[in-house]
Structure 1
């Protein structure tokens, strides 16, 4: 019979692997398009703040190394995405044709 602890650890590592690569597709797409169109700067700014507070809490609580390394890695990927906004958005012309003329929710 398989030990529940082994299964739990396996699922934990699979989850960790998924979370490590969560922003890679967005970063790659932004790089290929040289644009951050369709991506919310406010969303990523708040996400980065959340990651920063997550890291601070993990350090202050002396959590396991994985609980400290993961938010630190997230902060690095947040910096990459926010850097893409800085690099690509000055080149993003406002496309009047695709601008919302009426709000979806009134």
Structure 2
């Protein structure tokens, strides 16, 4: 990445990341972006680790995971379409990566579980209609 910046800019950030970061506010924003990435790694990792150690992921519902991954895919698409900051793009890719791991764990451990469910957690038609209505209102 070659950074073509006019005026004063942070040469370190431009050389490593190709971003034209100018001024103290820009550098502080860039640093907080990377702190955010580190915090999200720390937030996701314990769930992945516990699922692996216990060989189950019962605390996560399939509907929740699918909604979560759809939202993160939408975020990834918008980051690239709007050419957002590099740290935002990295964070959206990181979200998708962890989502894929969590969804993979969920379906793998759910498939390997040979127990019957005592309580049905399947989505009813009435609930699906309510969810569709809420999504339509939000989108409009």
Shorter-chain TM-score: what band? Answer: 0.7 to 0.9
Residues 20 and 70 in structure 1, CA contact (< 8 A), matched pair in contact too: no
CA separation in 2, counterparts of 1:52 and 1:68? 12
The equivalent of 1:60 in structure 2 is: 81
How far apart are 1:12 and its partner, in Å? 4.2
CA separation in 2, counterparts of 1:54 and 1:7? 23
How far apart are 1:89 and its partner, in Å? 0.4
The equivalent of 1:103 in structure 2 is: none
How far apart are 1:14 and its partner, in Å? 2.8
Where structure 2 has 5 or more consecutive residues not aligned to the other structure, the ranges are 1-23, 121-140
The partner residue of 1:80 within 85, 90, 101 is: 101
The answer as to 2:116 corresponding to 1:94 is yes
Residues 75 and 92 in structure 2, CA contact (< 8 A), matched pair in contact too: yes
Where structure 1 has 5 or more consecutive residues not aligned to the other structure, the ranges are 101-106
Runs of 4+ aligned residues of structure 1 deviating over 2 Å after TM superposition are 4-16
RMSD (Å), alpha carbons? 2.4
How far apart are 1:7 and its partner, in Å? 5.7
Q: TM-score, normalised by structure 1?
A: 0.75
CA separation in 2, counterparts of 1:28 and 1:49? 23
The equivalent of 1:46 in structure 2 is: 67
CA separation in 1, counterparts of 2:105 and 2:88? 26
